[in-house]
Amino acid sequence: MSEHRRATTHRSETSEHTPGAHVSGAEHAESGHPGHGAAEHHHDGGGNHHAHMVADFRRRFWVSLVLSIPVLALAPLIQGWLGLGDVLAFRGDRAVQAVLATGIYFYGGWPFLRGFASELAKRQPGMMTLIAVATTVAWGYSALVTLGLPGEVFFWEVATLIDVMLLGHWMEMKSVLGASAALESLVRLMPAEAHLVATDGSTRDVPVAELKRGDRVLIKPGEKVPTDGVIAQGETSVNEAMLTGESKPVEKGPGATVIGGAVNGEASIAVEVQKTGDETYLSQVIAMVKQAQESRSRSQDLANRAAVWLTAVALGGGAVTLVAWLPTGASFPFALAARSP
């Protein structure tokens, strides 16, 4: 199997274990793969998938944020804080606020509603359930008040909660995309072919996967080192910034080690192969990253189980609080919004 095919296999594996494979249920709900689970997309579409999710959350956040400005301006509580009730209030302002908040609820809150449905289908209530229940109860009750039910509206609370959650998921997806891209860039560091030096001094191009320990390869100026080895002949500077973080090229001569994926500088060198395949420095870095991501998957599973209990406690506590306040003579809006008796 050629090095190019081996690198392709690495890319496929890294796509399956990227952080995005275990992000929030909102992402998978929106992409048609509900809930928390391994990413099923092909490695060629992994980057596009995450880029699409970043763009989607960004778009939903900005649209919702723009709509939230008039919702906040029309909220009596906000007007009272600013002392602008007489300026901002007008006939029919509650209806306008209701229309705008409804747009935020359905457009901005759609990923959370789909995530909620996914969690219910899997019988694993979690964060999506909490967000969806909170926004749905507040929006539904406020809509009924707008239609004539006595009480107070919570439209600005719905808008700000959705805005905050969208911003958080947007930032999360950006970090996922960045981590995936960084791992892909590491995989692409390895060249597909090497100049193998024969016993008579001639060279021929061979796939890197065919190199064996003890082989000699010629590395010309500007070319990437095909695998880990020791310089047998020549002196040059080697740029290892992408591998070790060293900001400046390192001067190397006979007996110095070079790392596969590093970039040769101004002179040709002959390198004796010391490590190949999974033994190389770059392969070990990729393996450690994948191991860390798989560890995160196990932590995510534990977090998912904890989220079930958290959701039950939160919803149960909210119901108990509501029931506890009503007999005291408190208004229904106050009991609904109260956090503790």
Per-position DSSP letters for 203-267, written without gaps between them? EEEEEGGG--TT-EEEE-TTPBP-S-EEEEE--EEEE-HHHH--SSPEEE-TT-EE-TT-EE-SS
The pLDDT score that the predictor gives to residue 79 is 84
Same domain, 222 and 179: no
Instruction: Please determine, for residue 42, whether its predicted confidence score (pLDDT) is greater than 50.
Output: no
Is residue 111 very low, low, confident or very high in pLDDT (cuts 50, 70, 90)?
A: very high
Q: How much is the pTM?
A: 0.57
Domain boundary among 172, 187, 202: 187
Which structural domain range is residue 247 located in? 212-275
Evaluate whether residue 314 is within a structural domain.
Answer: no
The pLDDT score that the predictor gives to residue 84 is 78
Evaluate whether residue 234 is within a structural domain.
Answer: yes
- In terms of Cβ atoms closer than 10 Å to its own Cβ (0-12, 13-18, 19+), residue 327 is exposed
Average pLDDT over residues 124-136: 86
Distance CA 341, CA 323 (A): 9
Residue 139: partners with Cβ closer than 8 Å, 6 or more residues away: 101, 102, 105, 154, 155, 158
The answer to whether the beta carbons of residues 313 and 131 sit under 8 Å apart is no
Is residue 177 very low, low, confident or very high in pLDDT (cuts 50, 70, 90)?
A: confident
Check residue 261 and give left, alpha or beta (phi > 0: left; psi -120 to 50: alpha).
left
Instruction: Please determine, for residue 196, whether its predicted confidence score (pLDDT) is greater than 60.
Output: yes
Evaluate whether residue 11 is within a structural domain.
Answer: yes
Q: Residue 240: name the closest of 251, 250, 255 by CA.
A: 250
CB atoms within 10 A of CB 185: 10
Average pLDDT over residues 123-144: 87
The answer to whether the beta carbons of residues 23 and 304 sit under 8 Å apart is no
Same domain, 138 and 68: yes
The pLDDT score that the predictor gives to residue 194 is 92
Is residue 136 very low, low, confident or very high in pLDDT (cuts 50, 70, 90)?
A: very high
The pLDDT score that the predictor gives to residue 47 is 54
Is residue 1 very low, low, confident or very high in pLDDT (cuts 50, 70, 90)?
A: very low
Is residue 62 very low, low, confident or very high in pLDDT (cuts 50, 70, 90)?
A: very high
The pLDDT score that the predictor gives to residue 330 is 66
The pLDDT score that the predictor gives to residue 38 is 32
Which amino acid, residue 164?
V
Q: Which helix (H) or strand (E) holds 168?
A: helix 155-187
Distance CA 196, CA 219 (A): 9
Instruction: Please determine, for residue 201, whether its predicted confidence score (pLDDT) is greater than 50.
Output: yes
The answer to whether the beta carbons of residues 238 and 265 sit under 8 Å apart is yes
Same domain, 164 and 258: no
Rounded (5°) CA angle 61-69-71? 105
Least confident of 24-33, 83-92, 314-323: 24-33
- The dihedral built from the CA positions of residue 270, 274, 278 and 282, taken in this order, carries a sign that is negative
Evaluate whether residue 283 is within a structural domain.
Answer: no
Instruction: Please determine, for residue 253, whether its predicted confidence score (pLDDT) is greater than 50.
Output: yes
Domain boundary among 234, 251, 275: 275
Same domain, 259 and 176: no
Is residue 30 very low, low, confident or very high in pLDDT (cuts 50, 70, 90)?
A: very low
Average pLDDT over residues 197-208: 90
Same domain, 96 and 145: yes
Q: Residue 287: name the closest of 78, 94, 17 by CA.
A: 17
Distance CA 110, CA 29 (A): 9
Evaluate whether residue 324 is within a structural domain.
Answer: no
- The dihedral built from the CA positions of residue 148, 151, 153 and 154, taken in this order, carries a sign that is negative
Residue 125: partners with Cβ closer than 8 Å, 6 or more residues away: 119, 307, 308, 311, 312
Tens-digit pLDDT profile for residues 139-150:
998 999 899 888
Most confident region among 205-209, 239-243, 323-327 by mean pLDDT? 205-209
Average pLDDT over residues 59-83: 91
Same domain, 222 and 171: no
Evaluate whether residue 320 is within a structural domain.
Answer: no
Same domain, 155 and 270: no
* Full strand arrangement of the beta sheet holding 263-264: 250-252, 236-239, 263-264
Least confident of 114-128, 246-260, 287-301: 287-301
Instruction: Please determine, for residue 317, whether its predicted confidence score (pLDDT) is greater than 90.
Output: no
Break the chain down into helix, strand, coil percent, rounded to 5.
60, 10, 25
Same domain, 166 and 65: yes
Is residue 315 very low, low, confident or very high in pLDDT (cuts 50, 70, 90)?
A: low
Compare 177 and 169 and report the one with higher pLDDT. Answer: 169
Total of domains in the chain: 2
Evaluate whether residue 42 is within a structural domain.
Answer: yes
Domain boundary among 275, 292, 307: 275
